[in-house]
A and B are shown apart, each in its own frame.
Chain A
Amino acid sequence: MRPHERQPSYTVAFAAALIDPERETPAIVAGPAGKGAVRRYNVYRNNVTVSLIDALAAVYPAVQRITGVDFFRAMARFHIRATPPTSPLLFEYGRDFPAFIERYEHARPMPWLADTARLERAWLDAYHAEDAAPLSAETLAAVAPERLADLVFITHPATRIVQSPFSVVTIFAANRSGEKAGRIDASSPEDALITRPDLDVVVRHLPPGGAVFLLNLMTGQSLGEAAATALQASPAFDLAANIAGLIGAGAFAAIAFGDA
């Protein structure tokens, strides 16, 4: 073969129809002794689509429980065709699924569904995040009071925040437990803290101003600056309660001093 000649590509021909039901069975494949290859090739189509729907269902079990299996699988099938995975690590798949749910016509009557998905995605990221010991209350208590305002918090690798105009923490909790979920008022805004201090992922409802406070700490603001911003955003912000809640949940890994 001369260098400029390319071997016809079997992967191009084989891959083209895998997630496109409109396309015909690739002509490069065959059954034995002149037998047809339609059902044979369809085994691969089915394996790909079903396993990827299963992968999304594994990431988003609460969403599936809310919508029902048939609704979920139909929605997931559309998403897979539009946005197949690019990484072989399936626990990374589906990052675009919440945004897809937001645009999905049949999901419009459930405006809180996309944020519920965002919370589930954050849950799985926390599950697989790097391990680290959480910051203890004792370590924080040892800091001299006059240095507290300059303190900088290093968040735990598992820590995530999901802010929502809907009751996502309540919806998530009700649909990830084995128990029957009753009627939920979805209309009260809830911000979620997701982290994993040890083996178990923790999901907490953040108090008023809590999400702004933690987000600012995560960007490297000092305790003093972050508290001032949070108070501005939410007059009900309670610094002591927020710090205690975040430490208790295991949201931080360490403390340091800014510019000191």
Chain B
Amino acid sequence: MNAVMKPAPAATMPLRFPALPIGGLAGTSFKHAHLAAILVDGAQRGFFEVHAENYMGAGGPPHRALEAIRCDHPLSLHGVCMSIGGERPLDQAHLKRFKYLVERYQPALVSEHLAWSTHENTYFNDLLPLPYTAATLTRVCDHIDEVQQAIGRPLLLENPSTYVSFRESTMSETDFIRAIARRTGCGLLLDINNVFVSATNHGFSAREYLADFPLSHVGEIHLAGHAEQADDEGYPLLIDSHDGPVADAVWRLYEIVIAQCGPIPTLVEWDSQIPDWPILKAEAAAAQAILDCCRTVVEDRHAAA
């Protein structure tokens, strides 16, 4: 076969995106249904977060959409199924895809979950819990080291929302997470809705959990809505459903954390029963107001000093 006669390839892929700062910003989950409305708004103050797995196809509309919003906004790349908390070695093909996305889209933040979702050859599509023991701590740290090595930058690890605990656990979740951050140098993604959901489900104080959480390692905050069911005894069992507005109690915890830590990039997650763009945008604006208010307080303190 000789010369292939081929027109120039569809040159749509930008080689570089602007390095946009994410400090002190609020953002939202990016949903394709909102793309047109977001593009009409044009460049806005704020960032977008995407689930990495949705952009692991070779091409097509998902990448075009992500390129379009990434040109004007900082991006947070949020992995959902690395199975860092699993017992099996990390899926090397998946790690390679994840690394490729980090390189291609140059996100300001990269995060994953303290959870597992794959066992043997089955992918369960849920963030499943793990016992907190010396053995699981070692394995989780090894997995995080491997991810950080692959992507060449620190990962933010998200605290889980859970419905059960394990009889074999020997450490508290906050001790477990603190040890991970210390051993691996990873940052943390503090999901305040997850704290509230787990606190209710396991009968501990969300405020005490936050007081014990290694807040100095937190590089991003998640806020989201939850749903309520009942446990075997008829008491409230909260479900991390991401299908509605952020609860008042979660906003209050958020204000406490921001007052203590200063402005931290904050994402409003909304993944199911997705509302029109103005509603989601307004949730992010509410978080932004809290961040900005805190910035003013911090600046006033500096001015007074």
Contacts and interface: CB of A to CB of B under 8 A. Distances in A.
B118 interface: yes
Contact of B164 (A31, A51, A85, A258): A31
Contacts of B88: 11
A199 interface: yes
Given A127-B60, A129-B57, A131-B12, 17 more contacts: A10-B87, A11-B119, A14-B128, A15-B122, A35-B233, A36-B233, A40-B201, A44-B163, A85-B122, A86-B123, A88-B118, A89-B56, A127-B57, A132-B10, A199-B61, A257-B3, A259-B1
B42 interface: no
Given A40-B201, A128-B62, A55 B125 contact: yes
Contacts of A127: 57, 60-61
Interface in A24-72: 27-33, 35-41, 43-44, 47-48, 51-52, 55
Interface in B39-81: 53-54, 56-64, 80-81
B210 interface: no
Contacts of A257: 1-3
A136 interface: yes
Contacts of A254: 4-7
Contact of A255 (B5, B62, B123, B124): B5
Contacts of A256: 1-5
Contacts of B203: 32-33
Interface of A: 1, 7-12, 14-15, 18-19, 27-33, 35-41, 43-44, 47-48, 51-52, 55, 84-91, 126-133, 135-136, 139, 142-143, 152, 154, 157-158, 196, 198-199, 253-260
B121 interface: yes
Contacts of A199: 60-61, 64
Interface in B220-247: 229-233, 235, 237, 239
B61 A15 contact: no
Contacts of A11: 86-88, 116, 119, 128
Contact of B57 (A52, A128, A143): A128
A144 B53 CA distance: 46
Nearest to B13: A131
A50 to B, nearest CB: 10
A29 B130 CA distance: 10
Q: Secondary structure of the B side of the interface?
A: loop
Contacts of B94: 88
Nearest to B85: A11
12 contacts: A14-B129, A29-B165, A29-B167, A31-B165, A32-B202, A84-B124, A91-B54, A133-B8, A135-B6, A254-B5, A254-B6, A259-B1
Interface of B: 1-10, 12, 53-54, 56-64, 80-81, 83, 86-88, 91, 94, 116-126, 128-131, 135-136, 163-168, 201-204, 229-233, 235, 237, 239
- Scoring A88, A133, A154 by chain B CB atoms within 10 A of each residue's CB, the highest score goes to A88
B242 to A, nearest CB: 12
Given A11-B116, A86-B122, A90-B53, A41 B5 contact: no
B214 to A, nearest CB: 23
B229 A30 contact: no
Contacts of A87: 123
Nearest to B6: A254
Given A128-B62, A132-B10, A258 B87 contact: no
B188 to A, nearest CB: 23
Nearest to B121: A86
Given A127-B61, A132-B10, A260 B4 contact: no
B163 to A, nearest CB: 4
Contacts of B58: 128-131, 157
Contact of A253 (B6, B53, B86, B235): B6
- Scoring B124, B229, B231, B235 by chain A CB atoms within 10 A of each residue's CB, the highest score goes to B124
- Scoring A1, A11, A135, A254 by chain B CB atoms within 10 A of each residue's CB, the highest score goes to A11
B125 A48 contact: yes
A139 B5 contact: yes
A222 to B, nearest CB: 11
Nearest to A257: B2
Given A30-B165, A128-B60, A39 B229 contact: yes
Contacts of A88: 53, 80-81, 83, 91, 94, 117-118, 123, 125
A129 B59 contact: yes
Contacts of B63: 131
Contacts of B237: 39-40, 43
